[in-house]
Amino acid sequence: MTVKQAAQAWQFNIPEDELDRIAPVVEDVTAALERVLDRDLSTTDPLPHFRPTHS
């Protein structure tokens, strides 16, 4: 689903011009995260404790 399709499906009501500006940014960030997770996230990596300094 594209950013624009998602905005419509979830009824975000973001004006078209604003959606045009943020769509490429959302796509870039999502793709960058996907690369990171594909490369480095292991199935056994746990969710950190709510307090990241506790362990």
Partner 1 sequence: MDLTITELAPKIESGELSPVELTRHVLDLIEKRQPRLNAFITVTAEHALAQARQAEQEIRNGHYRSKLHGIPYAAKDLFYTKGIKTTVGSKIMDDFVPDFDCAVIEKLSAAGAVMAGKAGLHEWAYGITSNNPHYGSIRNPWGLDRIPGGSSGGSTSALAGGLCSFSLGSDTGGSIRIPASFCGLVGLKPTFGRVSRYGVFPLGHTLDHAGPFGLTVSDTAEVYRAMAGGDSRDESSVHRPLTQPKFAPEPSLAGRKIGVPQNFYFGQLHPEIEAGVRKAISVLGDLGAKLIPITVPDIEEFNTVARVILLAEATSVHEKRLRERRGDFGADVRALFDQGRFVRAADYLNAQRRRRALLDGFNELLSQVDAIVTPTIPVPPAKIGQDTLVVAGVEHNVRLATTRIVRALNLTGLPLLSVPCGLTNENLPIGLQIIGGLWDESGILEIGHAYEQATDWHTKHAPIATE
User: Residue 20 and residue 29: Cα distance in Å, rounded?
Assistant: 15
DSSP secondary-structure letter at 20? H
The tokens for 21 are 């500006």
- Segment (H or E) for 40: helix 16-40
Residues in 1-55 at the binding interface with partner 1, rule: CB under 8 A: 3, 6-7, 10, 12-14, 18-19, 21-22, 25-26, 29-30, 32-33, 36-37, 40-41, 45-48, 50-54
- Residues of this chain that interact with partner 1 (CB under 8 A) are 3, 6-7, 10, 12-14, 18-19, 21-22, 25-26, 29-30, 32-33, 36-37, 40-41, 45-48, 50-54
